[in-house]
Structure 1
Amino acid sequence: MLRRCTGRVLDIGCGAGRMVEALAGRGHHVLGIDVCPAAVITTACRGASAVSRSVFDPLPDEGRWGTALLIDGNIGIGGEPRRLLHRIREVIAPEDLLLVETASGEVDERRRVRIHSGHRPVSTVLPWAVVGATALRRHALASGWTEAERWTSARGRHFVALRACR
């Protein structure tokens, strides 16, 4: 997945920052964003760049990111995949790339989740979506994206590369 990243990379929902760190190590200008302040701190402790905010808030360098990432199921952010996909079109450069990790099965579900640190809840209840590759394709087409590639990693993780339509 990392080899497919081009240009400046925005990791949406970066968590502990492992992708941010790996991409920076490959020479990319990369920024992680996450709503969880502890995730941003962990990313910074890795020596990587991150800011604490929602993808739906104003972001640094909107419209100039070459690749955006939604890894570890982050297509679920906000519970409305089409709204998220529309927003990311505003964030990346025209015709650039969005790399999405999808659920393994053919699923398109809405849920309510809570973030925990160990057994302690650290967030309010949040809307979330779980989306497989076929459902992602449907949401993407309705949101101005086209599927550029679909693959499964050696570890059995499922990914789709989307390209913004003109």
Structure 2
Amino acid sequence: MTTTTAWRADPYTDALRTGRGPLFLRRDDGRLLPLEVERWCEAPDRADRSVLDRCHGTVLDVGCGPGRLVAALAAEGHRAMGVDVSPEAVARAVRLGATALCRSVFDSLPGEGRWDTALLIDGNIGIGGDPTALLRRLRQVVSGSGRVIAECAPVDVDERCEVQVDDGRGGRGTPFPWARVGRPALSAHAAATGWTVSERWDLWGRHFVTLTRQSSSVLR
């Protein structure tokens, strides 16, 4: 079962339709990681605004979810597009006035190599379960002068695990790979793929970095 199919599982779709949880990622060790569905379905908060204010030029929101960020960018005049593997998430984003595609970031995307800013917010550095592969892929997607704005885990962690979407009431989706990285680990993954941390900031308990291309790098 692919990650794409897993995010179409009923617990996730149902939560997006109602705009509320509870919703979790259940790890293979049984630990539950809360998903903030209500926040995702509301207007951008101050922490989100700190991300939006740093977006330059054209913006690709990777794993856009129900679209609060990409819709806000569009309303402010950015050429912005979201991509997400959940049809319900994409439908909500479009209803908000955003441009969004039901597609994986690892699929062919419009404008590859020309996006000025790519977003990995709300834990989306975990997409595919391999942050190094994801950041390497974004080097193909973002322009030579572009940037990636990523949100880190609030703890010092670097882990890959198998997870399921879980509604806390017995409903679970199919297992798929996921990753969680804190700021030190993200810096290391970035360095290994030709990115460097050019800015870091914290707001409302959330942790962010801006990545720009290294001037000279040897990719591993």
Alignment pair present for 1:161 and 2:216: no
Tell me, yes or no, if the aligned pair for 1:113 and 1:127 is still in contact at 8 Å.
yes
Match of residue 150 from structure 1: 200
Q: Which residue of 1 aligns with 2:180?
A: 130
Kindly indicate whether the alpha-carbon contact (under 8 Å) linking 1:106 and 1:133 is maintained by their aligned counterparts in 2: yes
Contact 2:74 2:97 (C-alpha < 8 Å) held by counterparts:
no
Shift of 1:22: 1.1
What TM-score does the superposition give when structure 2 sets the normalisation length? Answer: 0.72
Contact 1:106-1:132 at 8 Å conserved across structures: yes
Alignment partner, residue 56 of structure 1 = 106
Question: Residue 135 of structure 2 is aligned with which of 70, 74, 85?
Answer: 85
Counterpart of 1:24? 74
Q: Of residues 54, 58, 68 in structure 2, which corresponds to 1:4?
A: 54
* RMSD of aligned alpha carbons: 1.4
How far apart are 1:118 and its partner, in Å? Answer: 8.1
Of 189, 202, 217 in structure 2, the residue corresponding to residue 139 of structure 1 is: 189
In 1, Cα distance between equivalents of 2:57 and 2:167: 34
Identity %: 54
TM-score (norm 1): 0.94
- The residue number in structure 1 matching 2:156 is 106
Q: Aligned partners of 2:103, 2:213: CA distance in 1, in Å?
A: 23
- Where 1:44 maps in the other structure, the secondary structure is helix
Residues of 2 paired with 1:5 and 1:46: CA distance? 19
Q: Distance in 1 between matches of 2:71 and 2:167?
A: 22
For the residue of structure 2 that corresponds to 1:100, the secondary structure is: strand
Map of 2:33 onto structure 1: none
| In structure 2, distance between residues paired with 1:124 and 1:40 | 20
Q: How does 1:59-74 map to 2 (within 5 A)?
A: 59-74=109-124
Alpha-carbon deviation of 1:114? Answer: 2.5
Distance 1:114 1:51 in 2: 23
Q: Secondary structure at the match of 1:90?
A: helix
For residue 116 of structure 1, report the CA deviation from its aligned partner: 5.2
Q: 1:58 to 1:29 in 2, by over 3 A?
A: same
**Greater share of strand:** 1
User: What displacement does 1:95 show?
Assistant: 2.7
Q: Distance in 1 between matches of 2:166 and 2:82?
A: 20
Structure 1 segments, 4+ long, off by >6 Å, are: none
- Structure ID, larger Rg: 2
Query: In structure 2, how many angstroms separate the alpha carbons of the residues matched to 1:87 and 1:8?
Result: 18
- CA deviations over 1:26-85 (Å, ceiling 9, x no partner): 211000000111110010111111000110000011001000000000000000000000
Q: 5+ residue gaps in structure 1?
A: none
Corresponding residue pairs, total: 164
